[in-house]
Chain A
């Protein structure tokens, strides 16, 4: 394990130092004094654990493929955006557009997520232990989005094939979002995901998997149909 002190260094210097340490076969890097600065640990493509000892700004862990990134504080907008694989865990809360356009991997947020969680996500698993803001899952295409607490307005609006689960209340569903039943097999799978990715102390405070609401696309927006013009009018 090596430590990098971000204090007094530019973001470019910090990211280069992280990459250099990983290239030197260091499997664990701790970043001290991150100062909530933007663009930390972006585009890391190796299997390594990067622990950010504090909060991070925008796009932390964006465009990564493979590493495990842990933010001990909170994270700004676009957490892990466009990630291909790996894990990004935030102990605090995350700003808007967390897990935007991710194509794989796992994003875990122990606190709350702001608006547009999982927007345009194309794969992977996104878990929020707390609540999420409005338009979570907007235009989401594939993957699994789980909110253990309450979901804000326009939840799962205009989705394709992402499957969402909400443990608390949903302020209201977005256009073309529908509630679907959860069968025993799915509940078992959901429980496995939650118990794998959430610390036991956190998992124990959340609803049982079978009590989650499942939300999927109603598929009315998948192809234009004039008989559904009101849905389209509202969607557009």
Chain B
């Protein structure tokens, strides 16, 4: 009997997906971010080249290596000053529970870092527990409030998100509780599909005026960030700089989300590694590299990823999913509750259901109790501090007394593609391929 063989095109998973669509009439919506095996170059395709004879390293546990991070030096009267270059990205109260938002704020503050509001506006407890709070202005304008804006340390005008560039937020009705509905001026229980475009400007020229409005509203005191989902990064970064951004955030395709159509997470946008390289090139080509600070986001897992992003040109990194994992996302506990929503520890991307077993991406009061704010804040603080120590270790080994002095020359590429994308030599050669 001939050996049975699966189709590589219509593999079992593809067959299941087609049949699920045929039976339900629904496309797949889920949270978390891309699940694909990454066949494209990532930060793992780079290796650091620590000092030996040609460079002098710093003592790993003794000599100073500054992590102080200043953002918004271009136009703002009061740039942000952080102790570390790792920040918490914008995630909404709605996608996240109240406890998760407060734990992130408190943990970031304890580590000397910042956190960001998200779709739906600012929570009082979030402001009270933050040291540096960035106020997101999103296309939906849910919860927009000038008083909150003026309590912020920076404004982030969000154009897009790495997990789903070109589309708006999504919060399914199970998470639009009475409190969330009130905050967002929505009927309780609707499937909230946020706008993809801002309601009062369309293109980059209008955005110049919008940025001026935000500056006028805050008396030119605080920095204006412009956040882009990574797609046409090179041109978008130049346009954002032209619009007057103090800081540009580029969010790569490995970025997470509380909910979106799965196809966006898997098939749209530029990988984070490519995004940081394009962003740096864009700022260099218009002579604003260093004047406009660059934050990179999207799948940053540890200090190694962050250090590589910084060596390629980022001034700081955002983390989102990693910070939720620090809060116990996907941890093997409450396993029956994972199973009840068709998930399992390490394989849960069911944020969209509102039934998060560990109390992070839920509005259910009972589930939320599973995330204790003080414990969560401690874990976030620890994780941010360890990430920072990892960046410092690599920087010192490369002879840098400031983590911001890391540069492409400190690395080599482990693949031809990474060499071409990052402009660093391929290991075993002295060639930068594609340049």
Same assembly: yes
Q: Which one, A16, A65, A101, A160, contacts B147 given CB within 8 A?
A: A65
Asked whether any CB of chain A lies closer than 8 Å to the CB of B204, the reply is no
- Which residues of chain A are near B173, meaning CB under 8 Å? 222-223
Q: Mark B137-177, 1 if CB is under 8 A from A, else 0.
A: 00011101111011000000000000000000000010000
Asked whether any CB of chain A lies closer than 8 Å to the CB of B220, the reply is yes
Are A139 and B195 neighbours in the complex by a CB distance under 8 Å? yes
Asked whether any CB of chain B lies closer than 8 Å to the CB of A194, the reply is no
Question: Could you tell me which residues of chain B, from 201 to 228, have a CB within 8 Å of some CB in chain A?
Answer: 201, 206, 209-210, 212-213, 216-220
- Which residues of chain B are near A93, meaning CB under 8 Å? none
Cα distance A43–B148 in the bound complex, in angstroms: 12
Known: A78-B200, A120-B199. Contact between A42 and B213, CB under 8 A?
yes
Question: Could you tell me which residues of chain A, from 1 to 31, have a CB within 8 Å of some CB in chain B?
Answer: 11-12, 15-16
Cα distance A103–B121 in the bound complex, in angstroms: 13
Q: Mark A90-127, 1 if CB is under 8 A from B, else 0.
A: 00000011001101000000000000100110110000
Of B195, B200, B206, the most chain A CB neighbours within 10 A belong to: B200
Are B25 and A226 neighbours in the complex by a CB distance under 8 Å? yes
Binds A, one of B86-94, B184-192, B302-310, B323-331: B184-192
Asked whether any CB of chain B lies closer than 8 Å to the CB of A141, the reply is yes
Asked whether any CB of chain B lies closer than 8 Å to the CB of A144, the reply is no
Are B199 and A58 neighbours in the complex by a CB distance under 8 Å? no
Are B141 and A58 neighbours in the complex by a CB distance under 8 Å? no
Are A222 and B201 neighbours in the complex by a CB distance under 8 Å? no
- Which residues of chain B are near A38, meaning CB under 8 Å? 209, 212-213
Are B217 and A43 neighbours in the complex by a CB distance under 8 Å? yes
Known: A77-B206, A101-B200, A223-B189. Contact between A82 and B220, CB under 8 A?
no
- Which residues of chain A are near B142, meaning CB under 8 Å? 122
How many residue pairs bridge A and B at CB < 8 Å?
109
Are B209 and A100 neighbours in the complex by a CB distance under 8 Å? no
Are B186 and A229 neighbours in the complex by a CB distance under 8 Å? no
Are B187 and A82 neighbours in the complex by a CB distance under 8 Å? no
Give the interface size class of chain B.
Answer: 20 to 34
A160 to chain B, nearest CB (A): 6
Q: Which one, B24, B146, B195, B219, contacts A63 given CB within 8 A?
A: B146
Of B140, B147, B209, the most chain A CB neighbours within 10 A belong to: B209
Q: A122-B185, A223-B173, A229-B25 are in contact. List 10 more A-B contacts (CB 8 A).
A: A11-B212, A12-B220, A45-B146, A58-B201, A58-B206, A78-B199, A78-B200, A101-B141, A120-B140, A142-B185
The 7 closest A-B pairs by CB, nearest first: A226-B25, A78-B200, A43-B217, A122-B185, A101-B141, A100-B199, A97-B200
- Which residues of chain A are near B187, meaning CB under 8 Å? 160-161, 222
Give the B-binding residues of A (Cβ under 8 A). 11-12, 15-16, 38-39, 42-43, 45, 57-59, 62-65, 77-78, 81-82, 84, 96-97, 100-101, 103, 116, 119-120, 122-123, 139, 141-142, 160-161, 222-224, 226, 229
Q: Mark B34-47, 1 if CB is under 8 A from A, else 0.
A: 00000000000000
Cα distance A13–B301 in the bound complex, in angstroms: 46
Task: Look across to chain B and name the residue whose beta carbon is closest to the beta carbon of A83.
Answer: B146
Known: A58-B206, A84-B146, A142-B185. Contact between A42 and B199, CB under 8 A?
no
Are A59 and B209 neighbours in the complex by a CB distance under 8 Å? yes
Are B212 and A39 neighbours in the complex by a CB distance under 8 Å? yes
Are A39 and B199 neighbours in the complex by a CB distance under 8 Å? no
Are B209 and A39 neighbours in the complex by a CB distance under 8 Å? yes
Of B141, B186, B209, B220, the most chain A CB neighbours within 10 A belong to: B141
Are A223 and B191 neighbours in the complex by a CB distance under 8 Å? yes
Are A43 and B216 neighbours in the complex by a CB distance under 8 Å? yes
Asked whether any CB of chain A lies closer than 8 Å to the CB of B286, the reply is no
- Which residues of chain B are near A77, meaning CB under 8 Å? 200-201, 206
Are A81 and B199 neighbours in the complex by a CB distance under 8 Å? yes
A203 to chain B, nearest CB (A): 29
- Which residues of chain B are near A57, meaning CB under 8 Å? 209
- Which residues of chain A are near B218, meaning CB under 8 Å? 43
Question: Could you tell me which residues of chain B, from 92 to 125, have a CB within 8 Å of some CB in chain A?
Answer: none
Are B206 and A120 neighbours in the complex by a CB distance under 8 Å? no
A sample of 24 inter-chain contacts (CB < 8 A) reads A12-B220, A15-B216, A42-B213, A43-B146, A43-B150, A43-B216, A59-B210, A62-B213, A63-B217, A77-B200, A78-B213, A81-B199, A81-B200, A82-B144, A84-B146, A100-B199, A101-B141, A103-B144, A116-B199, A119-B199, A120-B140, A160-B187, A222-B173, A224-B26
